[in-house]
Amino acid sequence: MPPQRTRIEHDLIGDRAVPDDAYYGVHTLRALENFPISDTPISIYPELIRALACIKQAAAVANNELGLLDGERTRFIVSACEEVRQGRLHDQFVVDVIQGGAGTSTNMNANEVICNRALELMGRARGDYAALHPIDHVNMSQSTNDVYPTALKLACWFGIAGLVEAMETLRRAFADKALEFADVLKMGRTQLQDAVPMTLGQEFSTYATMLGEDQHRLREAADLIREINLGATAIGTGITAHPDYAALVCRRLSEISGVQLITAPDLIEATQDCGGFVQLSGVLKRVAVKLSKTCSDLRLLSSGPRAGLNEIDLPAMQAGSSIMPGKVNPVIPEVVNQIAYEVIGNDVTITYAAEAGQLQLNAFEPIIAHSLFKSITHLRNGCLTLAERCVRGITANRERLRAMVENSIGIVTALNPYIGYANASAVAAEAHATGGSVYRIVLERGLMSREELDRVMRPEELTRPQPIRPLAK
């Protein structure tokens, strides 16, 4: 096997041989050696790579308009960025998602890939940095400290849009089931004890409503991360950048990305502040908590089937046991529960990392980014999986549900307005002690006539507010 062809690149540490077929350069190579942490490259998050390419393109255009970057270099940088935005060369973004250096390795990876692809388009060899340089030209007017957080915010915005869409798919699935089960009477429960009747449709409607509320909260959080610090350069003073650069590059990035971005009014504050990421993570945790509660409900409602609640059946997806024949487990709700626990843990990581920032910069944004992107991606996948492989296939055990209502002591609550709390409590106590029917005990005690009782006990009377009509004297 012939030896691998290499090219020599130089940085402040010295010379290194870089694989000749690599679009990345010496800075990326050293990062690969320094951070063998997760074996997960940043390319696993395509929204991040897309965001970086948008930023580099916007910077090149802005620098050209300000007379700082010539037209030829600008043209080829833009072409390379557009290719990356379309999905090309993502395999060249190889640095680990967990890295020291406040994201410098990620920024340099982007600079080198875009630079070497632009050199190729110019008809030059990769590594010919005298013609086009990854720092002097591709990174002009920039610092990792404004590029990286801006890329994170833009990538999060892209990701949140996909998550909200997935949540809408799940919301519609629950809403469809709510309509299907609108006439299915069942017992509601509080503290896992029989409460009062409701419909299964009402129960499923609450899951749809919760998702709709969280979609709104996510859109609000995404709106807050539109504020960026691009143009801040190293610490927010804008050193090495043109006075008009920050405003101009924000406009160009908005046009390129399709996201209406805003330059932070205080770039020094914006460069060190991770509050937007903390808030977004908190909303993601809210989504996770409520989604997990919903999945726990589905597991409870489908428990048994013979010795549990057995109110609904989840679609059977796989054999549930290597030893117990016929066992089928609620594997889809279980996996979504686990996603939720991960998101909650990610939020703790983000909280600590954001708090640990010192003075003018937070060095721990890479772990913030990794945690956020995991939460967004896994929640999105979880919502789609839950919708398609579970919720759409749920069926109701109608006869069992009605039987439990008819045999429940909880229906005595509906009689409170007519016979009073004391009488209702006495009826409930007798029914519990004897196993007798509430219906029969009320009649035997002469508390209501059969006609009056039948009217009050109709399903439509039991599951929604009704005007209280006095009983006949």
Backbone angles phi, psi at 139, to 5 degrees: -100, 15
Q: Which two tokens stand for residue 257?
A: 């990305």
User: Which of 180, 153, 179 lies closest to 372 in space, CA to CA?
Assistant: 153
Q: Which two tokens stand for residue 471?
A: 């009983």
Coil, helix or strand for 198? Answer: strand
Number of residues written out for the chain: 473
Beta-sheet pairing, 14-19 with 6-11: antiparallel
DSSP conformation letters of 309-326: ---EEPPP-S---SSSTT
Residue for token pair 């849009």: 161
DSSP conformation letters of 40-74: -BGGG-HHHHHHHHHHHHHHHHHHHHTTSS-HHHH
β-partners of residue 228 are 263
- The one catalytic residue among 43, 257, 321, 425: 321
Q: Which two tokens stand for residue 220?
A: 């609000």
Coil, helix or strand for 471? Answer: coil
β-partners of residue 6 are 19
- 40/112 Cα distance (integer angstroms): 19
Beta-sheet pairing, 395-396 with 312-313: antiparallel
Whether residue 321 lies in the annotated active site: yes
Q: Which two tokens stand for residue 23?
A: 């679009």
DSSP conformation letters of 218-273: HHHHHHHTTEE-TT-TTTSS-TTS-TTHHHHHHHHHHHHHS---EE-S-HHHHHH-
Task: Enumerate the active-site residues.
Answer: 321
